Amino acid sequence: MEKLYQNIEDYLDGNLPDENLNDLINLKKNNDLVNREIQLRKEVNLAIQDSGMMDLREKLEMQHKRHVSNYSFIHISRDLVKSWHLAAASFSLILVVGGLWYILSNKPYSTEKLVTKYYKPAHPILQVRSVDFNSDDALKEAFNYYRQNDYINALKYFNSLENQITARFYSGICYIELEKFSKAIEAFEYVINDKDNLFVEQADWYLGLIYLMNNQKSNAITQFEKISTSKSYYAKQAVDILKYLK
């Protein structure tokens, strides 16, 4: 069991050796407990990454409550606001603090802020062994360029493996980085329509983000509603995004 847990961690980190990958994929498909364990560990990793933001929001909320309580003096005595200058200064201070809290509370989010918060390129991996030696070499070269953020050259190699799911998925990421959104949509739809692969959930997620980037709000809402009602790892994040889009 300990070995299984280690394989799951290596898989999530992109370090699982090729010889163990197929076994884990089969377990993920056929064993509900293994699948849930993978999803749980994904959520834990995400929670750890987001803990800093949660701490910041808690501190801001405490500051907001403290400021609000400090303004109770306004209702205690009318003598304190007889001066026009004092009244104006007090009102301005309330507006500044209230406005600052409104902005920092992240509502409403612009499309750009949503994209900045939720988008990051997929972690580069090389876990799927290709059918033949030449394809395997092409995938290695593609990931070498991808790791260097050289998406143009990475695409040349990914596109040479047109029918391979891994290559199609990462070509979609390259197209996002190059702002070729229609090409990215085509790549992710290919992955989604294939259905039987490890990248379907991620492809669905990135498709929704592309719609945000491309200001296709209605398509984005439809896509994130689909994700939010599924068992996807990204379901909760999709719900959060929908709160700002509707």
Give the residue with greater pLDDT, 224 vs 127.
224
- The label of the residue with tokens 């030449």 reads 134
Percent over 90 (pLDDT), the chain = 45
The domain ranges of the chain are 43-105, 117-245
Q: How far apart are the first and last CA of the chain?
A: 44
Q: Are 128 and 21 in contact (CB under 8 A)?
A: yes
User: Which pLDDT score is estimated for 17?
Assistant: 74
| Mean of all residue pLDDT scores within the chain | 76
User: Which pLDDT score is estimated for 84?
Assistant: 38
Please state whether the predicted TM-score (pTM) of the whole model is above 0.85. Answer: no
Q: pLDDT tens digits for 59-74?
A: 555 655 555 455 444 3
What would the two tokens of residue 37 be?
């364990």
**Closest among 243, 200, 202, 213 to 225, alpha carbons compared:** 243
Q: pLDDT tens digits for 112-159?
A: 888 999 999 999 885 545 444 466 789 999 999 999 999 999 999 999
User: Which pLDDT score is estimated for 59?
Assistant: 54
CATH number of 117-245: 1.25.40.10
What would the two tokens of residue 176 be?
């996002």
CB atoms inside a 10 Å sphere around CB 134: 11
Q: What is the CA radius of gyration of the chain?
A: 24
CB atoms inside a 10 Å sphere around CB 58: 10
